[in-house]
Structure 1
Amino acid sequence: MLLYNLRHTLFICSILLSGCANDQKKATEDRTLNVRPTEVAPVATDLPVKEKNILFFGTSLTAGYGLDQQEAYPALIQKKIDSLNLPYKVINGGLSGETSAAGRSRIDWLLKQPVAVFVLELGANDGLRGIPVATTTANLQAIINKVKAKYPQAKLVLTGMQVPPNMGQRYAADFNAMFKTIAQKNKMEFVPFLLEGVGGKPELNQEDGIHPTAEGQKILAENVWLELKGVL
């Protein structure tokens, strides 16, 4: 009987010891599974860089009036960007007939999407309508202020425009100077005259003599790219 009790006690002890060993082993395994050593963690080096938006906000010149949108200068600039593998996506926010006042009302809707670079091309239709320069200036500044408030880190570019002398010499001079003044005030990159090399050349403009042909748009793209490339 004594021998039986001794064997029974040894059997129970062996079970308890085995259980303790298993518990200890499991605890060790649990701790091991939870270890995440940074020195051996894989590092992803080939993930795509998120694209940043370039918003072109303007008139029919930006919209590419009378042409396929792929022939408008913003689309041509996108091709340049792609060829250089830069992480930017162009958004064409041009609208035919847009005045600075209409643009001031419309900009909020376009700013619902993130903007890294803002290119402002407005004022041409104001000039053709003889809208007071002070009014156009106020509207353009209000648009710029909205962009700054929504996206303080956004880089800003302004394209200049000119009106013909038949609008009156004083008006034409004040209108032409307005863009440089706004650009300097807001520390914007400045394209002095968007239509440089195109304006007044029949072969580069459509029948209306105002809107560039596809070839003319290529020159507009170059004019803008000269200032934009440094921003990107």
Structure 2
Amino acid sequence: MHLVRLSILPLLILLAACGQSADPAPQADETARRATPSAANDDTPQVPVSGPERRILAFGDSLFAGYGVGVENSYPAKLEDALRARGIDARIVNAGVSGDTSGAGRQRLPFVLDKQTDIDLVILELGGNDLLRGIPPAETRANFETMLGELRERGIPVLLMGMRAPPNYGPEFQREFDALYGDLAREYGAELIPFWLETVYQRPELFQDDRIHPTEEGLQVLAIDTVAQVAEALPEPDE
């Protein structure tokens, strides 16, 4: 794949980030629980961790898998730290696989869910590779419908991490793709972050030398930017 400079097509390059795979084997490792949460760039005062353990499944592609930084420094790991800094006893299972399309995720999701117990929330992050490969938005939508239907049947709340199509895909494709996350969130009762890369995609200093994958600092920025929405998406714990 030819790399284009981030300054020219920042959004398209971020979408390409999902497509590179350092290891084709699935990564479903759980992030290590940290005794002392570290959310250095969060202005929210750290509070003691308390309450019941909240188990979150982070299901996505290389943007979750920790490409170039390691699973221990991935977005799910940073997010777990940020949640714990807010006093939430969070444990995040990282089920990010580099290169996954929504179709690959649809096939993989039931197997991953069968291996987990007591999941309080699924963070669903896919679609970038569909864009990279020119998969029709209707097909992407159908794959998400299958995944969201599976999660609804199992009674698991979902937070959708939205993506956007770049304008060079054409206005009709762009409209169809950009609308699907909001439509699906309303149809299936999921929470939604409309474009979860909003705060970094125009900041090239937050990307690795490949100008595609966020650095550890970039992932920290994303975690801090989204932690409040993730916390709000968690259902109230059972009494």
Q: Same fold (TM over 0.5)?
A: yes
In 1, distance between residues paired with 2:233 and 2:57? 13
Deviations 1:20-45 (A, max 9, x none): xxxxxxxxxxxxxxxxxxxxxxxxxx
- More displaced 10-residue stretch of structure 1: 58-67 or 202-211: 202-211
Which one of the candidate residues 161, 164, 174 is aligned to 2:176?
Answer: 174
| 2:229 partner letter | E
Give the Å deviation of 1:79: 1.0
Which one of the candidate residues 145, 149, 164 is aligned to 2:149?
Answer: 145
- Which protein has the larger Cα radius of gyration, Structure 1 or Structure 2? 1
Q: TM-score, normalised by structure 2?
A: 0.71
Give the Å deviation of 1:83: 2.7
SS for the counterpart of 1:224 is helix
Counterpart mapping for 1:58-207 below 5 A: 58-112=60-114, 113-114=116-117, 115-150=119-154, 152=155, 154-207=156-209
| 2:125 partner letter | E
In 2, distance between residues paired with 1:79 and 1:173? 36
Give the Å deviation of 1:145: 1.1
Asked if structure 1 preserves the Cα contact closer than 8 Å seen for 2:125 and 2:162, the reply is yes
Give the Å deviation of 1:50: 5.5
Give the Å deviation of 1:168: 1.9
Give the Å deviation of 1:224: 2.6
In 1, distance between residues paired with 2:90 and 2:75? 15
Distance 1:98 1:187, change over 3 A: same
Asked if structure 2 preserves the Cα contact closer than 8 Å seen for 1:191 and 1:223, the reply is no
In 1, distance between residues paired with 2:228 and 2:183? 20
In 2, distance between residues paired with 1:148 and 1:193? 23
Instruction: Establish whether residue 52 from structure 1 lines up as the match of residue 51 from structure 2.
Output: no
Deviations 1:58-86 (A, max 9, x none): 01001121112222111111112323342
Q: Which residue of 1 aligns with 2:214?
A: 212
In 1, distance between residues paired with 2:162 and 2:197? 9
Counterpart mapping for 1:11-50 below 5 A: none
Identity over aligned pairs, percent:
39
Q: How many residues align?
A: 183
SS for the counterpart of 1:162 is coil
Distance 1:205 1:169, change over 3 A: farther
Gaps of 5+ in 2: 1-49, 235-239
More helix by share: 1
SS for the counterpart of 2:57 is strand
Q: TM-score, normalised by structure 1?
A: 0.73
Gaps of 5+ in 1: 1-47
Distance 1:93 1:195, change over 3 A: same
| 1:71 partner letter | N
SS for the counterpart of 2:88 is coil
SS for the counterpart of 2:197 is coil
